[in-house]
Structure 1
Amino acid sequence: MLDYFRNTLYIAITSELIEITHAETGRKLAEPPLLAIETKRGRDSVIALGSMAKHLTGKPNVRIENGFSHPRTLLADFTAAQRTLAHLIKRVLPLGFFVRRPIVVMHPLTMLEGGLTQIEIRAFAELASMAGASRAYVWQGPSLTTEQLRKHSFPEQGRLLFP
């Protein structure tokens, strides 16, 4: 019963794909981290996300952004990444009158040579917070299972980081 009121999200990130798992329901969402932004009368608005955004490539007044694509780091454009993540989080959370802000475990999967710096850890945690998380953590280690997330038990082969 208490799990109904909890929202724990596990977000695995690469520059090509974001996978979000809602631990309590097991619901999963996987989308490319693309955002289609249309400019009309000098104002930008998000018109598509993920695979739908990819189909709008080349459309007039529309630009496609990937906030997770850079040659040196996974987090390239904070604003684009935050907007993308916020939209994806809304899509995976259960519908209802009272939906608690989620606890988010961010798991960057690429650009990890030498480990994450303190700046990267803080940036990923801040990204999750700005996208709607009540608490944000960064996981370094093997992929987590839904059961591990539900129980908040993390394997010893990794590290749960909190800035």
Structure 2
Amino acid sequence: MDFLRQFFNTVLYVQLSPRRLVVRDPRSRACFDEVPEVAIHRPAGGRATVCAVGAEARAQAAGSDVVVVNPLAHPRTLVSDFIVAEQLLKFAIRRLYGGRAVFRPSPEIVMHPVDDYEGGLTPVEIRALQELALGAGASRARVWQGPALSDDELLLRRYPPAGRMLA
């Protein structure tokens, strides 16, 4: 019974900034850590597709119909391109698990913007982070503001008093 509870009680930790996207599974300690850049192939008259993420995205930029986008880079807001950010997060989660298509329950995702934002995050930005996580397959999405969380804090869901969950 304890195995089933652990299997269905998964959590992923997502630290995001314009410079890095880190997705970590505190139970397995598997980690995706990349520059949050996405190479998008946009053929004339065709459908846009993601062709590379992270460091590989820059290498793909040589193609004339490839555009590199950082969906987390904007001077005034946390998410500059919601759709690309959602695709990036989905890609990171798939990569975290090695692309295995085995049955995997939807995790709780704790989103943690690591930069300080003047005046804090707005309710719209908090909602955008929650929606990103839900769109990437989360069963529950929470937004953490504070110091980086340890694996034990995530697994036990005991968060330090130096920060707070945003609603």
Cα deviation for residue 110 of structure 1 reads 1.7
The TM-score, its normalising length taken from structure 1, stands at 0.92
One-letter amino acid matched to 2:41: E
Cα deviation for residue 102 of structure 1 reads 1.3
97-106 or 53-62, which moves further after superposition?
Answer: 53-62
Match of 2:53 in 1: 49
CA contact (8 A) 2:111 2:129 kept: yes
Identical aligned pairs, as a percentage? Answer: 38
| Structure 2 runs not aligned, ≥5 long | none
What CA deviation, in whole Å up to 9, does each residue of 1:58-114 have, x standing for no partner? 322111111101011121111111111111111113746320111100000125222
One-letter amino acid matched to 1:79: I
Distance 1:91 1:3 in 2: 21
Distance 1:131 1:86 in 2: 5
Number of aligned positions between the proteins:
162
One-letter amino acid matched to 2:64: P
Distance 1:79 1:135 in 2: 19
| Structure 1 runs not aligned, ≥5 long | none
Distance 1:20 1:116 in 2: 20
Match of 1:36 in 2: 39
Give SS of 2:130's match: helix
153-162 or 89-98, which moves further after superposition?
Answer: 89-98
Structure 1 runs (4+) deviating above 4 angstroms are none
The question of 1:114 aligning with 2:119 is answered: yes
The TM-score, its normalising length taken from structure 2, stands at 0.90
